[in-house]
């Protein structure tokens, strides 16, 4: 198999920035923040403290909006809840008065609970619905604060918790809040850099692929809602102390908008961007005091300009690396020899995937009409047929996106639950998509690492605090991802943003992502579409090599040559039914196939 | 120059150039301007009062400066538009204290903001005059720097309650507020006051001011036997809808309550001018016409001075007068003590007795910072507005 | 009492339903839920008052100008906030771009019109008590809109093209339908419907800048209840919401009625995410 012989130009790609280089902007900000007290100006202390407190909230919200892509517009509701919880408990309106720190902790707990309550609709509803429900929630929280006068003081409000010395001075409190902000930066960066963060982004940009990789969206989102809610609740408690007094009218929609827009002008999927966005939006009204009347208008205009002109936000502006041109004339050079290490101890296939009498109809159209199909370990099974014959639909039934009306789907004799795509990855079933589904803003390496999400054992808490097991797992995953990329021929592009890759490279990236699972079965949906002849050859060799490691491959393809070259068995579909099945040689001479499909 | 409500510039927003440098040197102190911080909700909903105050503030500062300033020192008003947002008010307050180094602060103009800024001003020992009604805002022990130039809620409440039970002779009242913080609190306080006085509160409600139809609430108030409806709301839309509903029901119950009942906006929203009859709102003796249609002499003179300079048609005279008084009280403190040190200003205010302002005659002592004379809070005939002043409601001499 | 709840409930319900139809009309050709729907309703009231009361135009030209202005705004929405983000529909950038535009509209109204509610003129002067025009006008406008839309969708070529695009975007384009022009037309139509909602409900809601977010939320509930893109569902949902809200206002009072409406909304949505009357399910894979 002459796949590694072509003389490819040596790839010279910018190296990934070192950990220190990535930390540098944060350390710079922290150093600047630590120098601020030497100014001695209490006004700056107030504004800087405000920025810190807002960041405590925005850092968590960033995971929801910037990473998970859930448009929580009304997050001021949780800030209000936290502020009232801390103030009411510290004042002793309901229970005996608690110390301020305990009250702050309770605010975090209440925030976490309501973070999930507000978030629940996001688990089932579409984006716009979620935006609306958070908005509605923001209005009823203030209504309840008004009505529940005995506890909240109604419209008169309630004093915020007072901090004990030495936190009762402007600068003492500032340093405390700065510490909280720095801690939140670290915690949320830990989540963002873990498999949880990668899964969030995958849910946002490639939900279908995330499901195929076994990402359990509800569980993942609930964990993030808990964290973001807790941070927002704590921010509320800190806010109440800073304001010294809270009334319902302090929790304006403008404030909610500020949080939301800070994330977006910062840029999705970034920590530094939203941090800068928060600082910017806190300072902006102070600098532009004479424009106060137009402030909301300016926020809105800013939002519109960002959405239309720089959807990537500040983070994209600062991403100098991705503006350097990638070398021209790159060629994908798979290294099947890496597969032995990669797939060496893959999941033992316990038996074949079997479809029996599967029927799937969309309305009156029978997309699959009584299909039998066996997919055996170590075999390459081709699935061909004209457009609309049910090839991809069959693949979608196997990977759980469609629930057939009749028939059975089993793996080694045990039924595979229909309509539950997230349960396929744990069974060792991986797939690629006709149009590559990827996270454009993440690196190729990060995209590929999503493929092994189901194998992560460390918990959300371990990831939050970077505990040893998490760090070890992370190292192992990265090593495996680099191996998968080497096998797929993309080793040199690991640290490049995925949306900069060529179409053909994306196809191989999807294969690498699927290989991360060390799958027992791999389903490829038209992997050769859009590839050059030479690349198709290399793809064929790669697929054979994968099957040689014991993985069963289902290949949906139009390229008849590729099918006949590498398949062990071929099924031909027509109108959702099997037209023919057999070895490539049998199919090649099958009369109906030849006349109907191979065109003579 | 005619200052009108629309298109008004944020006058005086220019920063004092040297002030950011910090401590004013004693040598400079004699010539540096007297800096008055003005926290005003000039835009956003419920900006009408601050817009009125602002006209008085700008006029007073101009008049002082035209007369040579305060002992040769220019009066400089530094305005920050808080938009009614407590957070913006807190920021602006701290900026005025630490950055702009103002000598005294006038405002904020609504209670929600004032609740948040009062503690901060107390910490900075900043001499402060404000017109906010919430009772707890004034406490000479906790906030020795804060002085009220307007009636407290208690004084408002008293005036409304006394009129309702004493003049309108209503034994059964309906108390209605809107769903804002102010509306909920004021309605609760008012209802409690009525009950303490032995009147029966037969119906109490908070209505969402955007609610398009007021019939259900009005019907329930009538069915409960209400003889007067007491209103606590700044929402002109809600008030006008209730007036229209009252007329449609053919019910001649009096409306008594918040000064907003007299807002000029209502005139446009009611279907017939007659619907505005039997509506009595809180007013002030200083800004009320007597039987001959004359204001008290001092304010007749003020009207002459303001004529052609300040538009009074779309605002209230007492707002403008109160703004003038606030600036003059600060200037007077500087003039009388020859100092702009905060404790000198506060000491001077603590000794003010029957200080003759346009809006009222203020008296403060070290133990009482509610400076407005309670007997000057009266009820006005809401629909009698002219030049921002009103006729006294029936029953007043 | 009951009569009064019914009259005002149906009236505001009809306004909500019309805003719901505004959402649906924009959604049909673009798959975009636009935050400008409520602002169009707000502008219907504000512009109507501006043209008729401030500028002194007769009712009919005032109505036509209001509808035309909002139709134009609809087209502007399509060009500025929708078309540029259609390429990446699944990133939901439209939520942000339409939100930004909606806020700009609302803030301009606050600054240039008034932050206080302004009067809206009586249009016809027919009816008294619960039969006053402010109660029946929105219902009549809603009925007229529904009939007009049914006629448009069933009997006219343009209307059928709308339906075709709403049902299958790709197929419609493959058939050679001028997708972009149809989308602009549907945004203009939505603008006019939103303006009609605000105009017909003007005497009830007054010409008030803050009506925008209110209508946005209460106009969205019928869409969510009735199912996305389902106009009949929106009408039933809107009227039901109006009645429920007025009954809640009456029974539990202002503060708790919005809590009651919101709670019911969340519960129904969690129980039936596709709405009570169903919506077209989108193909995911």
The per-residue pLDDT for B31 is: 76
Chains that touch B (3 or more CB pairs under 8 A): A, C
Give the model's confidence band at B8: pLDDT under 50 very low, under 70 low, under 90 confident, else very high.
very low
The pLDDT of residue A388 is 83
**pLDDT for residue B15:** 34
d(CA A113, CA A452): 30
Which of B87-101, B175-189, C122-136 ranks highest by mean pLDDT? Answer: B87-101
Query: Scanning every residue of chain A, which has its alpha carbon at the shortest distance from the alpha carbon of C284?
Result: A208
Closest residue in A to C32 (Cα–Cα): A128
Q: What is the pTM of this model?
A: 0.90
Collect all residues with Cβ–Cβ distance below 8 Å to A535 and sequence separation of at least 6. Answer: A331, A332, A504, A528
Are A169 and A29 found together in one domain? yes
The kind and range of the H/E element at A31 are: helix A19-35
A312 and A427, same domain (yes or no): no
Q: Report pLDDT for A264.
A: 87
- Chain C residues within 8 Å of chain B (Cβ atoms): 1, 4-5, 7-8, 11-12, 110-111, 115-119, 122, 129, 201, 204-206, 208, 210-211, 214, 246, 249-250, 253-255, 257-258
B21–C contact, CB cutoff 8 A: no
Q: Which residue has better confidence, B216 or B380?
A: B380
Position A599 scores a pLDDT of 57
Q: Per-residue confidence at B313, pLDDT binned at 50, 70, 90?
A: confident
Full domain range(s) for residue A158: 19-321
Residue range A61-95, pLDDT digits in tens:
999 999 999 988 889 999 999 999 999 999 988 88
pLDDT value for B395: 87
Q: Kindly report the backbone phi and psi dihedral angles of residue C55, in degrees, each rounded to the nearest multiple of 5, phi listed first.
A: -95, -5
Tens digit of each residue's pLDDT (9 = 90 or more) over A453-473: 999 999 999 999 999 999 999
Give residues with Cβ within 8 angstroms of A184, minimum separation 6. Answer: A55, A56, A59, A60, A231
- How many domains does the structure of chain A reveal? 2
Of C80, C108, C266, the CB nearest to A133: C266
Residue A127 to residue C80, Cβ atoms within 8 A: no
- Do residues A402 and A520 share a domain? yes
Give chains near A: 3+ CB pairs under 8 A: B, C
pLDDT digits (tens, 9 = 90+) for C53-106: 999 999 999 999 999 999 999 999 999 999 998 887 777 788 889 999 999 999
Tokens of A472: 């070890």
CATH architecture of C2-271: Orthogonal Bundle (1.10)
Q: What is the pLDDT of residue C282?
A: 53
How far is CA A14 from each of CA A328, A441, A504, B124, B247, rounded to the nearest angstrom? Answer: 14, 17, 21, 54, 78
Interchain CB distance below 8 Å, C259 and A293: no
Residue B179 binned pLDDT confidence (cut-offs 50, 70, 90) = confident
Q: What b/e sequence results for B190-229 when a residue is b if at least 16 CB atoms lie within 10 Å of its CB, and e otherwise?
A: bbebbeeeebebbbbbbbbbbbbbbbbbbbbbbeeebbbb
pLDDT digits (tens, 9 = 90+) for A146-181: 888 889 988 888 999 999 989 999 999 999 999 999
The shortest CB-CB distance from C95 to any of A124, A127, A133 is to: A127
Most confident of the following: A141-145, B246-250, B264-268: B246-250
- Token digits of residue A101: 């720190």
pLDDT value for A5: 40
Q: What is the pLDDT of residue A350?
A: 74
A399: CATH = 3.40.50.300
Taking the Cβ of residue B211 and every Cβ of chain A, the question of whether any pair is shorter than 8 Å is answered with no
**Cβ-defined contact of C81 to A304 (cutoff 8 Å):** yes
CB A463 within 8 A of CB A195: yes
Q: Which of A292, A321, A350 is the last residue of a domain?
A: A321
B interface test, pick of A87, A246, A289, A296 with most B CB neighbours within 10 Å: A289
By three-state DSSP, how is residue A372 classified? strand
Smallest Cα distance from B17 to chain A, Å = 15
**Conformational region of residue A576, where left means phi above 0, alpha means psi within -120 to 50, and beta covers everything else:** left
Segment A383-401 mean pLDDT: 91
Is A541's pLDDT higher than 70? yes
User: Who among C90, C104, C269 is closest to A300 (CB)?
Assistant: C104
The predicted model gives A18-23 an average pLDDT of 82
For residue B47, what pLDDT is reported? 83
Q: What is the pLDDT of residue C285?
A: 58
Helix (H, G, I), strand (E, B) or coil at B176: strand
Of A287, A321, A355, the last residue of a domain is A321
Judge whether A389 lies within some domain: yes
> ipTM for the complex?
0.86
Examine the domain organization and report whether A242 and A389 are in the same domain. no
- A residues 267-296 near C, CB within 8 Å? 293-294, 296
Alpha helix segments (H runs only) across A163-294? 170-192, 195-205, 207-212, 217-243, 253-266, 272-287
Tokens coding A584: 């490539």
Q: Closest by alpha carbon to C192, among C16, C25, C29?
A: C25
Of chain A, the percentage scoring pLDDT greater than 90 comes to: 63
Query: What's the average model confidence in pLDDT over A386-391?
Result: 87
Contact C122, C59 (CB under 8 A): no
Residue window 438-477, chain A: list those with CB within 8 Å of chain B.
none
Average confidence (pLDDT) over A308-317: 86
In total, the C-beta contacts within 8 angstroms joining chain B to chain C are 77
Minimal-distance CA residue of chain C relative to B209: C254
pLDDT given at position A254: 84
- Among residues A321, A350, A383, which one ends one of the domains? A321
- Residue C280 confidence (pLDDT) above 80: no
Better-predicted residue by pLDDT, A299 or C23: C23
Residue C220, min C-alpha distance to chain A (Å): 8
- pLDDT tens digit sequence for A179-227: 999 999 999 999 999 999 999 999 998 889 999 999 999 999 999 999 9
Within-domain flag for A129: yes
Q: Which of A156, A174, A259, A289 to mutate to probe the B interface, most B CBs <10 Å?
A: A156
Neighbours of A583 (CB within 10 A): 12
> Does A376 lie in the same domain as A277?
no
Mutating which of A83, A142, A249, A253 best tests the B interface, going by the most B Cβ atoms within 10 A?
A249
Q: Do B208 and C258 touch (CB under 8 A)?
A: yes
CA distance A537 to A527: 12
Nearest-by-CA chain A residue for C227? A129
Beta carbons within 10 angstroms of residue C33's beta carbon? 23
B18 has a pLDDT exceeding 60: no
Q: Is the pLDDT assigned to residue B23 strictly greater than 80?
A: no
Work out the average pLDDT over B149-169. 93
Domains and CATH numbers, chain B: 17-152+298-374 (3.40.50.2300), 154-290+378-391 (3.40.50.2300)
- How confident is residue B30, by pLDDT bands cut at 50, 70 and 90? low
Identify the H or E element spanning A582: strand A577-582
Task: Tell me how far apart the alpha carbons of residues B57 and B44 are, in angstroms, rounded to a whole number.
Answer: 19
Residue C278: band (very low, low, confident or very high) from pLDDT cuts 50, 70, 90: low
What angle in degrees, to the nearest 10, is found between the helix axes of A76-91 and A127-147? 30
* Domain layout of chain C by residue ranges: 2-271
CATH assignment at residue A187: 1.10.3470
- Say what the pLDDT of residue B379 is: 95
**Residue A408's beta-bridge partner residues?**
A356
Calculate helix-pair angle for A272-287, A253-266, nearest 10 degrees.
130
Task: Provide the pLDDT for residue B3.
Answer: 44
Q: How confident is the model at residue A297 (pLDDT cuts 50, 70, 90)?
A: confident
Phi, psi angles (nearest 5°) of residue A276: -65, -40
Substitution target in C11, C46, C112, C116 with the highest count of B β-carbons within 10 Å is C116
The helix/strand/coil state of A383 is: strand
Per residue in B60-109, pLDDT (tens digit) is 999 999 999 999 999 999 999 998 889 999 999 999 999 999 999 998 99
Residues A285 and A421 in one domain: no
pLDDT of B298 reads 94
- Per the CB < 8 A criterion, the answer to whether B37 and B102 are in contact is yes
pLDDT attached to residue B208: 84
């Amino acid at each position: 198999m002459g796949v590694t012989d072509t003389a490819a130009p040596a790839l010279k790609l910018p190296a990934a920035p070192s950990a220190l280089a990535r930390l540098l902007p944060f350390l710079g900000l922290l150093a600047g923040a630590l120098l601020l007290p030497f100014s001695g100006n209490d006004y700056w202390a107030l504004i800087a403290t405000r920025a810190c407190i807002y960041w405590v909230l925005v850092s968590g919200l960033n995971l929801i909006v910037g990473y998970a892509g859930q448009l929580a517009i009304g997050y001021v509701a949780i800030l209000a809840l936290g502020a009232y919880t801390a103030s009411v408990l510290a004042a002793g309106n309901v229970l005996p008065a608690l110390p301020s720190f305990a009250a702050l902790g309770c605010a975090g707990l209440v925030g976490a609970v309501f973070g999930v309550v507000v978030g629940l609709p996001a688990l089932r509803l579409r984006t716009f619905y979620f935006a609306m429900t958070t908005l509605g929630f923001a209005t009823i929280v203030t209504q309840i604060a008004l009505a529940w006068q005995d506890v909240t003081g109604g419209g008169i409000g309630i004093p915020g918790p007072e901090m004990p010395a030495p936190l009762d001075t402007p600068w003492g409190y500032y340093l405390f809040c700065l510490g909280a902000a720095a801690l939140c930066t670290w915690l949320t960066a830990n989540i963002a850099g873990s498999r949880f963060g990668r899964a969030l982004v995958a849910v946002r940009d490639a939900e279908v692929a995330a499901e195929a990789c076994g990402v359990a969206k509800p569980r993942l989102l609930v964990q993030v809602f808990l964290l973001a809610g807790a941070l927002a609740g704590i921010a509320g408690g800190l806010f109440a102390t800073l304001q010294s007094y809270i009334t319902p009218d302090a929790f304006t929609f403008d404030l909610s908008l500020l949080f939301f827009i800070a994330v977006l002008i910062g840029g999705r999927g970034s920590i530094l961007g939203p941090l800068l966005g928060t600082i910017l939006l806190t300072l902006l009204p102070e600098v532009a005091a004479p424009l106060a009347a137009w402030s909301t208008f300016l926020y809105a205009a800013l939002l519109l300009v960002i959405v239309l002109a720089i959807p990537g936000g500040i983070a994209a502006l600062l991403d100098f690396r991705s503006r350097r041109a990638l070398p021209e004339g790159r060629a994908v050079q798979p290294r099947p020899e890496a597969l032995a290490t990669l797939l060496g101890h893959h999941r033992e296939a316990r038996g074949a995937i079997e479809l029996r009498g599967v029927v799937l109809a969309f309305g009156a159209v029978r997309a699959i009409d009584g299909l039998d199909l066996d997919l055996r370990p170590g075999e390459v099974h081709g699935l061909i047929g004209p457009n609309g014959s049910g090839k991809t639909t069959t693949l979608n039934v196997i990977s759980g996106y469609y629930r057939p009306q009749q028939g059975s789907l089993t793996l080694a004799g045990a039924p595979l639950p229909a309509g539950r795509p997230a349960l396929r990855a744990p069974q060792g079933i991986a797939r690629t998509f006709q149009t590559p589904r990827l996270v454009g803003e993440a690196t190729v390496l990060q995209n590929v690492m999503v493929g092994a999400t189901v194998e992560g054992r460390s918990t959300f808490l371990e990831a939050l605090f970077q505990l040893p097991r998490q760090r070890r797992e992370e190292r192992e995953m990265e090593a495996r991802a680099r191996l998968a990329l080497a096998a797929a021929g993309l080793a040199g592009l690991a640290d490049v943003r995925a949306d900069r890759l060529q179409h053909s490279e994306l196809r191989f990236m999807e294969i690498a992502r699927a290989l991360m699972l060390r799958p027992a079965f791999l389903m490829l949906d038209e992997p050769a579409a859009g590839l050059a002849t030479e690349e198709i050859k290399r793809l064929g060799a790669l697929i054979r090599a994968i099957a040689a490691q014991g993985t069963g491959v289902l290949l949906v393809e139009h390229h008849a040559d590729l099918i006949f070259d590498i398949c062990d068995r071929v099924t031909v579909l027509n109108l959702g039914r099997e037209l023919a099945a057999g070895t490539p040689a049998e199919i090649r001479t099958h009369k109906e196939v030849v006349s109907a499909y191979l065109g003579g | 120059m005619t200052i009108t409500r629309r298109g008004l510039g944020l006058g005086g927003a220019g920063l004092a150039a040297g002030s950011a440098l910090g401590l004013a040197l004693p040598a400079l102190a004699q010539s540096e301007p007297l800096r008055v911080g003005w926290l005003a909700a000039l835009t956003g909903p419920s900006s009408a009062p601050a817009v009125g105050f602002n006209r008085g503030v700008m006029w007073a500062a101009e008049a002082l400066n035209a007369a040579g300033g305060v002992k040769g020192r220019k009066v400089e008003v530094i305005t920050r538009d808080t938009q009614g947002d407590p957070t913006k008010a807190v920021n602006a307050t701290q900026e005025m204290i630490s950055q702009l180094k103002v000598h005294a602060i006038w405002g904020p103009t609504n209670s929600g903001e004032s609740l948040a800024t009062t503690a901060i001003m107390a910490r900075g020992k900043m001499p402060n005059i404000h017109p906010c009604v919430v009772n707890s805002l004034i406490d000479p022990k906790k906030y020795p720097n804060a002085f009220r130039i307007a009636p407290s809620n208690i004084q408002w409440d008293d005036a409304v309650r006394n009129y309702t039970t004493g003049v309108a002779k209503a034994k059964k009242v309906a108390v209605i507020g809107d769903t804002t913080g102010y509306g909920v609190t004021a309605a609760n306080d008012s209802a409690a006051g009525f009950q303490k006085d032995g009147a029966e509160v037969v119906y109490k409600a908070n209505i969402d001011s955007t609610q398009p139809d007021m019939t259900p609430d009005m019907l329930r108030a009538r069915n409960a036997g209400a003889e007067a409806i007491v209103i606590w709301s700044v929402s002109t839309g809600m008030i006008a809808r209730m007036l229209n509903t009252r007329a449609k029901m053919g019910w001649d119950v009096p409306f008594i309550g918040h000064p907003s009942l007299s807002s000029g906006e209502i005139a446009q929203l009611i279907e017939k001018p007659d619907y505005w009859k039997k509506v009595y709102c809180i007013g002030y003796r200083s800004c009320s016409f007597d039987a001959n249609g004359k204001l008290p002499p001092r304010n007749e003179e003020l009207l002459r001075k303001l004529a052609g300079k300040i538009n009074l048609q779309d605002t209230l005279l007492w707002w403008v007068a109160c703004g003038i008084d606030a600036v003059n009280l600060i200037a007077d403190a500087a003039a009388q003590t020859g100092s702009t040190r905060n404790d000198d200003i506060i000491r001077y205010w603590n000794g003010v007795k029957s200080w003759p302002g346009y809006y009222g005659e203020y008296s403060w002592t070290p133990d009482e910072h509610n400076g407005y004379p309670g007997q000057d809070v009266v009820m006005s005939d809401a629909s009698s507005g002219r030049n921002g002043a009103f006729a006294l409601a029936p029953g007043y001499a | 009492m009951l009569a009064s709840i019914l009259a005002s409930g149906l009236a505001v319900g009809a306004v909500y339903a019309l805003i719901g139809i505004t959402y649906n009309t924009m959604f049909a050709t673009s798959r975009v839920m636009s935050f400008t729907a409520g602002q169009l309703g707000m502008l219907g009231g504000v512009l109507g008052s501006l043209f008729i009361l401030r500028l002194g135009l007769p009712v009919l030209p005032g109505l036509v100008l209001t509808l035309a202005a909002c139709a134009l705004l609809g087209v502007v929405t399509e060009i500025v906030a929708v078309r540029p983000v259609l390429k990446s529909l699944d990133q939901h950038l439209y939520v942000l771009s339409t939100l930004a535009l909606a806020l700009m509209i609302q803030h301009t109204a606050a600054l240039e019109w008034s932050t206080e509610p302004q009067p809206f003129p009586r249009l016809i002067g027919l009816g008294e008590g619960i039969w006053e025009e402010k109660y029946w006008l929105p219902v009549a406008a809603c009925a007229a809109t529904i009939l007009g839309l049914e006629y448009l969708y069933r009997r006219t070529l343009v209307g059928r093209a709308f339906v075709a695009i709403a049902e299958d975007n790709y197929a419609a384009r493959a058939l050679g339908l001028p997708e972009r022009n149809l989308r602009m037309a549907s945004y203009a139509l939505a603008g006019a419907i939103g303006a009609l909602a605000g105009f017909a409900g003007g005497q009830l809601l007054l010409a008030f800048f803050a009506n925008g977010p209110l209508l946005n939320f209460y106009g969205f509930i019928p869409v969510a209840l009735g199912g996305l893109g389902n106009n009949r569902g929106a009408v039933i949902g809107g009227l039901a919401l109006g009645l429920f809200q007025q009954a809640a206002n009456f029974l539990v009072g202002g503060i708790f009625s919005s809590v009651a409406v919101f709670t019911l909304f969340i519960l129904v949505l969690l129980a039936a995410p596709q709405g009570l009357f169903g919506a077209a399910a989108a193909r995911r894979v």
